[in-house]
């Protein structure tokens, strides 16, 4: 299939899922995940109207950001403290903030670099942190305290990578988002759902889908 054909199929899936959930498809952002995809294919997607792409690795994403300055890249993969400065320089958003020491580091660097970078808290409600990263619900207050409402790192929402086959995972995350919105007194977005489970994510209220294979096709090795 061509990129255009995959996009048409993907948009049809999203439209059907939104119809079943009683939602407006315009309220669901499609974020193409360009990890290990060649720049020409990313530029082809840009020609179809996409200008934001998710990347898993700082070095790879930074190289693409430098080569394609007209596009925006956001970090969706784990972030090590020693790569925080490069991440703030290359990416427009950080979706994987998951621990207080990283929040402290990002705050200091954002002030030093004089940049504003929206952040998402990556949460783990299923004890998957050792594999995928994420902050347990009990540890969220400490992470929010470390973030400190810093205007240079505005809190955008919650991101998660639930374990496959966890039927209630998306509902659990939506419930956590609702509780945090009440506590913080402000809206938060949800980034959850990928190629194989986007329908369930939409039904649970996801605002952003991170789609790799269904958008770009199989990744290069």
Q: Mapped to the 3 state alphabet, what secondary structure does the chain carry?
A: CCHHHHHHHHHHHHHHHHHHHCCCHHHCEEEEECCCCCHHHHHHHHHCCCCEEEECCHHHHHHHHHHCCCCEEEECCCCCHHHHHHHHHHCCEEEEECCHHHHHHHHHHHHHHCCCCCEEEEECCCCCHHHHCCECHHHHHHHHHHHCCCCCCCEEEEECCCCCCCCCHHHHHHHHHHHHHHHHCCCCEEECCCCCCHHHHHHHCCCEEEECHHHHCCCCC
Question: Rounded to whole angstroms, how far apart are CA atoms 158 and 73?
Answer: 18
Over range 200-207, report the average pLDDT. 97
Confidence (pLDDT) at 39: 96
Residue 221 Cα distances to 38, 39, 88, 171, angstroms: 11, 15, 27, 34
Give the least confident one: 23-27, 94-98, 164-168.
164-168
Domain ranges of the chain: 3-216
pLDDT in tens, 170-197: 999 999 999 999 999 999 999 999 999 9
Over range 20-38, report the average pLDDT. 97
Place 13 in a pLDDT band, splitting at 50, 70 and 90.
very high
Instruction: Return the number of other C-beta atoms located less than 10 Å from residue 188's C-beta.
Output: 17
Confidence (pLDDT) at 131: 63
Asked if pLDDT for residue 25 goes beyond 60, the answer is yes
Asked if pLDDT for residue 133 goes beyond 90, the answer is no
Arch. (CATH architecture) of 3-216: Alpha-Beta Barrel (3.20)
Confidence (pLDDT) at 166: 81
Residue 175 Cα distances to 59, 159, 209, angstroms: 34, 13, 18
Nearest to 201 by CA among 144, 146, 156, 160: 160
């Amino acid at each position: 299939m061509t990129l255009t054909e995959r996009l048409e199929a993907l948009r049809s899936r999203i439209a059907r899922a939104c119809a079943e959930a009683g939602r407006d498809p315009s309220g669901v952002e499609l974020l193409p995940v360009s990890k290990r995809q060649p720049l020409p294919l990313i530029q082809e997607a840009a020609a179809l109207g996409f200008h934001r792409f998710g990347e898993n690795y700082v070095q790879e994403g930074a190289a693409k950001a430098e080569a394609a300055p007209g596009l925006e890249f956001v970090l969706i993969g784990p972030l090590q403290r020693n790569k925080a400065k490069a991440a703030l320089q290359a990416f427009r958003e950080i979706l994987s903030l998951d621990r207080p020491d990283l929040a402290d580091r990002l705050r200091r660097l954002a002030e030093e670099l004089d940049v504003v970078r929206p952040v998402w808290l990556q949460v783990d409600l299923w004890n998957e942190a050792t594999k995928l990263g994420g902050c347990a619900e009990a540890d969220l207050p400490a992470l929010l305290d470390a973030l400190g409402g810093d205007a240079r790192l505005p809190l955008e929402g919650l991101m998660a990578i639930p374990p496959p086959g966890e039927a209630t995972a998306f509902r659990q995350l939506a419930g956590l988002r609702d509780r945090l919105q009440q506590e913080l007194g402000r809206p938060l977005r949800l980034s959850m759902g990928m190629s194989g489970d986007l329908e369930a994510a939409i039904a649970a209220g996801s605002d952003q889908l991170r789609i790799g294979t269904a958008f770009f096709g199989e990744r290069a090795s």
